[in-house]
Amino acid sequence: MTLLTGSALPFALFMAMPAVAQDLQDRPVSPPPSEGPAPANPDQVRFSADQLEYDINADIVTATGEVRMLREGERLRADKVTWNRKTGKVLATGNIAVTNPQGDIAYGDQIELTDSLKDGVVDNMLVVLEQGGRLAAVRGTRQQDGTVNLERAAYTPCAVETSEGCPKEPSWKITAVRVTYRPDRERVYFNGAKLNLFGLPTIPLPRLSAPVGPGGDSGFLTPDIRLDRVNGVEVAVPYYWRLAPNKGLTVTPHVFTAVLPMLEAQYEALTTKGAFRITGYGTASRRSDDLNTLNPTDTSQAFRGYLDAVGRYQFSPEWSLSGSMRITTDRTFLRRYDISRDDRLRTTASLEHIDATSYFSLTGWYVETLRVNDPQGQQPIALPELDYRRRFDDGLLGGKFEVQLNTLAISRTAGQDTQRAFASMRWDLRRLTNWGQEVTFTAYGRADAYNANNIASTPLVYQGLAGFQGRGIGALAVDVKWPFVGELWGGSQRFTPRVQIVASPKIKNIEIPNEDARSVDLEDSNLFALNRFPGYDRFEDSTRITYGAQWALTLPGFTFDTIVGQSFRLNDRPTILYPGTGLSDRWSDIVGRTEMRFRDFVSLTHRFRLDKDSFAVRRNEIDATVGSRTTYGQIGYLRLKRNIFTSIEDLQDREEVRLAGRVQFARFWSAFGSTVIDLTDRSEDALSLSNGFDPIRHRVGVQYEDDCLRLGFTWRRDYVQTGDARAGNSFLLTLAFTNLGR
């Protein structure tokens, strides 16, 4: 029947009032099941009942006992249906449930409709929506055009019963004197609406409307409220314009009590080939022009802004185009307005082709530094980088060849310019012996061409020689693994010794500019790598043997995995690996990693590097999580004591700890907190101003969260001041409703 359904109402509302007699709880009746196809004639109504009576004199048909009616996808279940053929009135009573073709279910005590079954009135109405949520009303009327009018109605997307099946009051609901659903406009209108939060009436909203259906519509979104020392009280109220089903614009005014307002706008679009999003911020405020002095100068009411864009298009299964843009007017804007804490912004564009055996990319990027002491003129602009790789079988021994072609052009506005091109080929052959060893043979060769200009501004160790330089690279390697597997403590264990030999002749390195291999550190991830330098500009020219072992234990609900290893150079040729990397002497430092997991309760990862002579800890890194999803603690600890010179690498020795945790003290209530503390002192970094225990920032808060509401309060304090991004406290109030805003 079409009498009172046809309403797919996944609407999102956020304010309403106490209702009178609306019952949002489930009704003690099941929805009518599907009983075959609808009648071929749309004017016919297919029905069944336990008993059928016909009063010839009054011309009244009465069906009783489990009445089922079906018409054009509409299904009705009732205890009794009476049809007065003289007046054309149809009355259904007793445990009524109606299902429309969209899957929405309507319940009521009594339905009165015309014999056309296209309009009618229902008492004590409840509509359970297929897309979530429910709508209850004292009385509902459906007109011929499909418009549904409800009197004294209530709506909620929240659960109305506990996990044990007991009835409960929803966290929030909208109540209104009158509700009108217009299917032609795909919108629901509320008159005299209020929000009931935890059963308490709050802000009245005399008129309110919300979209229906799977798409969004124009309207206000969830507001944000925060307080911090620099900007004062901030109120942000986003407004969304639905420009089309696949595109929209969100404009958010940010109003502050201490500074001028800021405008934020975000445009997003989705097509059959891809999607993109553009976000922009703009305001005017005082900013620090010179961040390198103790008393920076201020610019009064300078324009400040930020542009963030990202997009990706997939033209075919193989070809794609992606890019991102991140540009800001100054180095402290993002931190001052709490948009981002990144210290560098990168703008990229890339065209890629990927198939089963080859890879091609054409990429460019631009870097904007936000670090205090970094000159922008030294930041690289890469345009372009071309990379092509292809794999194929060798056709003789059963190995694999990989060919790579690569070019890169890097320029700087006030620094070194570098161009690079190389062609390489790698051959790998993997075999298993009769004794179970896994043996891999590798041969690698590469030819390079470099050109460098304006090298004076680059540190000597990285600049190379000016002008054109050529280089040849070659390496041979054998890698042997011998796993032993057995039972232990009701589980299984695996012990795998590993030995690798790599031979490479003396390679031209110092004469070549170094753009992408500046930060090198021995760790478990590169211990058995063919080249332990990152990037392509440096290659480890030595003959070495690397050995280590891995042990793994697997028990029910428990896993343990650890690896340790070291390398030794077989020749005494001078190395380009500088002290502090763990690779500068013939014997390398000892590195390892340990991972442990117990069900979903304990997760631990530990990485270390020990000095080969004194066994002093050069790197100690711990990441651990203990607890459940609702109550847990996290710790992250890092200590670097590598003694690398400042002129060689900007990542200096440091020590810090990161702590975070959450405690659920009630079913929906939890408290959380996190902090970052700098433990570095002058014994680890002679240039450090830290006293050995300097907090960087912390965050503490409390939150309520259930299936349809999130309410929280957070206090955050920043201890580091950079220009006008000053240290101080900030407070954030979070209030989010399910389906709110669109």
**Virtual CA dihedral for 198, 202, 207, 209, nearest 10 degrees?**
-30
Interatomic CA distance for residues 281 and 651, integer angstroms: 32
pLDDT for residue 647: 59
β-bridge partners, 561: 552, 595
> Containing H/E element for 686?
none
β-bridge partners, 493: 486, 553
Of 422, 418, 408, which is closest to residue 458 (Cα–Cα)? 418
Interatomic CA distance for residues 77 and 67, integer angstroms: 6
First-to-last C-alpha distance (Å) of the chain: 30
Query: Which tens digits make up the pLDDT trace of 436-482?
Result: 999 999 999 999 999 999 988 888 888 889 999 999 999 999 999 99
pLDDT for residue 623: 95
Query: Which tens digits make up the pLDDT trace of 294-304?
Result: 566 667 778 99
Interatomic CA distance for residues 362 and 409, integer angstroms: 12
As given in the structure block, the two tokens for residue 521 are 């550190």
As given in the structure block, the two tokens for residue 230 are 């620099």
Interatomic CA distance for residues 650 and 96, integer angstroms: 74
| Residue 441 CA: distances (Å) to CA of 213, 446, 464, 527 | 60, 17, 33, 17
Query: Which tens digits make up the pLDDT trace of 517-533?
Result: 888 888 899 999 999 99
β-bridge partners, 326: 308
328: which residues sit within 8 A by CB, 6+ positions away? 305, 306, 307, 334, 345, 368, 370
Of residues 316 and 582, the one with the higher pLDDT is 316
Is 393 within 8 Å of 367 (Cβ atoms)? no
Interatomic CA distance for residues 97 and 119, integer angstroms: 16
pLDDT for residue 111: 84
Q: Where are the alpha helices (DSSP H) in 299-348?
A: 333-336
Query: Which tens digits make up the pLDDT trace of 109-137?
Result: 888 876 655 567 888 888 777 766 788 88
Q: How many CB atoms lie within 10 A of CB 25?
A: 14
As given in the structure block, the two tokens for residue 103 are 């899957």
- Vertex 151, ends 149 and 153: CA angle to 5°? 100
| Residue 118 CA: distances (Å) to CA of 112, 121, 275 | 11, 11, 42
Query: Which tens digits make up the pLDDT trace of 255-306?
Result: 999 999 999 999 999 999 999 999 999 999 887 766 655 566 667 778 999 9
pLDDT for residue 5: 27
Q: What DSSP line would sit under 447-511, residue for residue?
A: EEEEEEE-GGGS-HHHH--SEEEEEEEEEEEEEEE--EEEEETTEEEEEEEEEEEEE------TT
Is 20 within 8 Å of 138 (Cβ atoms)? yes
Residue 125, classified by CB atoms within 10 Å of its CB into exposed (0-12), middle (13-18) or buried (19+), is buried
Interatomic CA distance for residues 135 and 95, integer angstroms: 17
Interatomic CA distance for residues 501 and 528, integer angstroms: 9
For the chain, counts of helices (H) and of strands (E): 2, 41
Per DSSP, the three-state class of 608 is: strand
pLDDT of 158 > 90? The answer is: no
Interatomic CA distance for residues 134 and 159, integer angstroms: 9
Per DSSP, the three-state class of 574 is: coil
| Amino acid, res. 168 | K
Q: How far is CA 315 from the centre of its chain?
A: 24
| Residue 476 CA: distances (Å) to CA of 442, 473, 505, 530, 531 | 6, 11, 10, 9, 11
**Virtual CA dihedral for 9, 14, 16, 20, nearest 10 degrees?**
50
184: which residues sit within 8 A by CB, 6+ positions away? 145, 146, 147
Query: Which tens digits make up the pLDDT trace of 198-251?
Result: 877 677 776 777 666 555 677 777 788 888 888 899 999 899 888 988 999 999
Is 363 within 8 Å of 387 (Cβ atoms)? yes
pLDDT of 740 > 70? The answer is: no
Rg of the chain taking only CA atoms, in angstroms: 35
DSSP 8-state secondary structure symbol assigned to residue 117? S
Half-sphere exposure of 236 (CA within 13 A, CB side): 24
Interatomic CA distance for residues 533 and 15, integer angstroms: 59
Query: Which tens digits make up the pLDDT trace of 359-416?
Result: 999 999 999 999 877 888 889 999 889 999 999 998 888 899 999 999 999 999 989 9
Interatomic CA distance for residues 277 and 249, integer angstroms: 10
Banded model confidence at residue 157, pLDDT cuts 50, 70, 90? confident
Of 351, 301, 347, 342, which is closest to residue 322 (Cα–Cα)? 351
Residue 663, classified by CB atoms within 10 Å of its CB into exposed (0-12), middle (13-18) or buried (19+), is middle
Interatomic CA distance for residues 198 and 206, integer angstroms: 20
Of 630, 690, 638, 688, which is closest to residue 659 (Cα–Cα)? 638
Size (the chain), residues: 742
pLDDT for residue 610: 94
As given in the structure block, the two tokens for residue 352 are 């890629």
Max distance between CA atoms of the chain, in angstroms, equals 117
Is 448 within 8 Å of 429 (Cβ atoms)? no
As given in the structure block, the two tokens for residue 284 are 């005017």
Of 193, 185, 192, which is closest to residue 218 (Cα–Cα)? 185
Interatomic CA distance for residues 591 and 607, integer angstroms: 8
In the block, which residue shows the tokens 């004590």? 124
278: which residues sit within 8 A by CB, 6+ positions away? 266, 267, 268, 307, 308, 309
β-bridge partners, 92: 81, 111
DSSP 8-state secondary structure symbol assigned to residue 599? T
Is 324 within 8 Å of 309 (Cβ atoms)? yes
The pTM of the full predicted model, rounded to 2 decimals, is 0.78
As a whole number, the mean pLDDT across the chain is 85
Determine how β-strand 247-256 pairs with β-strand 274-288: unpaired
Per DSSP, the three-state class of 336 is: helix
Q: What DSSP line would sit under 218-286, residue for residue?
A: SEE---EEEEETTTEEEEE--EEEEEETTEEEEEEEEEESSS--EEEEEEEEE-SSEEEEEEEEEEEEE
pLDDT of 741 > 60? The answer is: no
Query: Which tens digits make up the pLDDT trace of 11-50?
Result: 222 233 333 446 778 777 877 776 656 556 666 677 788 8
pLDDT for residue 646: 61
Omega cis (within 30) before 384: yes
